[in-house]
A and B are shown apart, each in its own frame.
Chain A
Amino acid sequence: MDLLTGHAFSIQNLISLLIGSFCGIIGGAMPGLSTAGTLALLLPFTMNMEPLPAIAILVAAYTGAQYGGSITATLFNTPGAPESAVMTIDGFALSKLGLARKGLLGALWAGLIGGLIGVAFLVFLAPWLAAEALNFGPPEFTALAVLGLTVMASLGRGSAVKGFLAGFFGMFISMIGLDPINGTPRMTLGLGDMIGGVPLIPALIGLFAVSESLRLLLADERKGAVRLANQQRVGFTMSDFVSTLRYVVVGSLVGVFVGVKPGGGATIASWLAYSAARAIAPQKDRQKFGSGALGGLLAPEAADKATVGAALIPLLSLGIPASASGAVILGAFQLHDMIPGPLLFTNQPDLIRDLFLALVLANIAVFAVGRGMIEVLIRVRSLDTGVLGIVILIMSTLGAYAFGGSPWDVLIACLLGAVGYAFQLSGIPLAPVVLGMVIGPLFEINFRRSLLLSHDSFLIFVNRPVSCWLFVLSISLFLIPTVFRFISSRKVR
């Protein structure tokens, strides 16, 4: 009964969930605007809200954006986000057969199941991990930050160096401002505004929303009318549900295990889920993959949604975001003076409970809103990306302004938007920049505290077992893929 009278079921929270779902689906459906970009644009609107509805709106938008990306992938053969790319294979094939409605309804069900499985893992694993992390001291948190560093290599889209460049760049600019130990200004170049450092939220808006809108604006193409076959009014039946349930469950589990790993991400999860679904399909169904198999659409969709709950496990329990979208949610916590990590579980258990409930409700809200929007979106035939880019660009400047009411934040968003665009042109990933901005201060403060505790002896990182194991894990995570790549390249020769 206490659960039902909690804040999660308040009218304000329920409305936030519906608005978040709607905005997320629309943002996710916009080609070029990533999930993180959608969240970054929404973030300033949550400033004056209570903490729970503010986080709930973003969590619902996060879940909704994953589904929105699948809509355009299915209808226009145009993924709204990278993680939806795999859904173009069987989703668009279904559209060409006039079965888009069936595919999209099935994807809604798959997303609901995947999302709930992800939340279930979050509910069981996050408190356990947070309880373990309560025993962490500065050396362990330093080691955890180093573990985050190794993730940057995996985000480098084939080039570990570019991943590290982005990560170190994010860490370096996070050092601008006052020294956290003795308050000395550093790297401020004599500008008063620089003393406050580079604020995370305007930086997120610049890196994701601005750089993506610049890409949209400069894409030099207007979305032509994609004429689809007339869509039949065929729905997703109970027999479809039963026959595809195994793909959905397998996809969800893949989503959880890939999503929980920092840097794993929804894109990898959705492709792996597609492969797994194809592998477990009976011979006659396997042949349909690629030409309109429901399993080929539903498994990646379930994986995609399962990553949402999974990605929140390291964020809530350790304070380390697993993805760029997770970093935006971290920004929302910071905006409301909350620090995700083990202490959040002991200091604000009610908030955590309400947050878990809000996540369950977010999945249901996305299902309900998505169900209503399918009939509208299925009629959309064209989209002007130029105008869309201008609207997002202007919204970004406003969002940055709204964060602290300071023109300095607008300038930061503009500068980092330009940097993000240049990085994208060169194939440098943006997620490690954000990860670096989060990890940099965490590393610095704990590293220096550790050295103060040990009287400048680095042995403190080796003498403590958890810290030592985390360092070994970091080195292994960095070395193992490198060794495998080296061996496979030798074999090719």
Chain B
Amino acid sequence: MGNSNTPTDPDRSLGNRFVPVFGPIVALALFTPLAISLVGLWQRQPGTAMVPAIFAVGVLICGILSLFQGRQAEGEFGWRQLALISGFVLCGLAIWSEIPYIAATSLLIALCFAIVGRRTWSVMLGVWAGSQILAYGVFKYLLGVPIH
């Protein structure tokens, strides 16, 4: 239950031997643009850039070492995973771009059900309606969160 160590389906997998290095690659990918911006700052204000630079060196060294550790993956990565994570990040970007919350989350819920498999209409509509009531009814109107 909740354990993603399910047998790998070779037809759907995206090179699962690379899964153990996904984490370090993601960390280094996010780190790179930030570190580059730090180089410019170092030339202008070394005091401001000093401590972030220490941590940057730590991320770089540990990230590279982790790439070579080659331990076992703790799950598989296939098309389902890629679709869901891309869809979820796009949902975040859509909300950030001021696309209405109801539209972004409705598409996300539809994508999720496409990935986990169809359930009964009452369950699917219940999840959708529950999420929107919570968002617009409780958070927006009762708690005053400015959800657009």
Contact = CB atoms under 8 A, between A and B. Distances in A.
B127 A391 contact: yes
B23 interface: yes
Interface in A413-438: 413-415, 417-419, 421-428
Interface string A376-393: 000000011111011101
In the complex, which range does the number of interface residues on chain A fall in? 35 or more
Contact of A410 (B20, B33, B55, B92): B92
Given A187-B52, A413-B92, A428 B75 contact: no
Interface in B100-138: 101, 105, 108-109, 112-113, 115-117, 119, 123, 127, 130-131, 134-135
Interface string A165-189: 1011101110110010110101111
Contacts of B89: 414-415, 418
Q: For chain B, which range describes its interface: under 10, 10 to 19, 20 to 34, or 35 or more residues?
A: 35 or more
A410 B52 contact: no
B66 A162 contact: yes
Contact of B47 (A216, A407, A448): A448
Contacts of A218: 4, 75, 80-81, 84, 115
Contacts of B47: 181-182, 448
Dominant SS at the B interface?
helix
Contacts of B116: 217, 386-387, 389-390
B88 A426 contact: no
The listed residue with most B CB atoms (<10 A of its CB), out of A217, A401, A422, is: A422
B30 A419 contact: yes
A169 B27 contact: yes
Nearest to A397: B105
A184 B50 CA distance: 13
Nearest to B71: A427
Contacts of B74: 424-427
A390 B109 CA distance: 7
B131 A219 contact: no
Interface of A: 31-32, 47-48, 72, 76, 78, 159, 161-162, 164-165, 167-169, 171-173, 175-176, 179, 181-182, 184, 186-189, 210, 214-221, 223, 383-387, 389-391, 393-395, 397-398, 401-402, 405, 407-408, 410-411, 413-415, 417-419, 421-428, 440, 443-444, 447-448
6 contacts: A182-B45, A218-B115, A221-B1, A401-B95, A418-B26, A448-B47
Given A219-B2, A414-B92, 9 more contacts: A169-B27, A172-B56, A187-B38, A218-B75, A218-B84, A391-B127, A415-B89, A422-B23, A447-B51
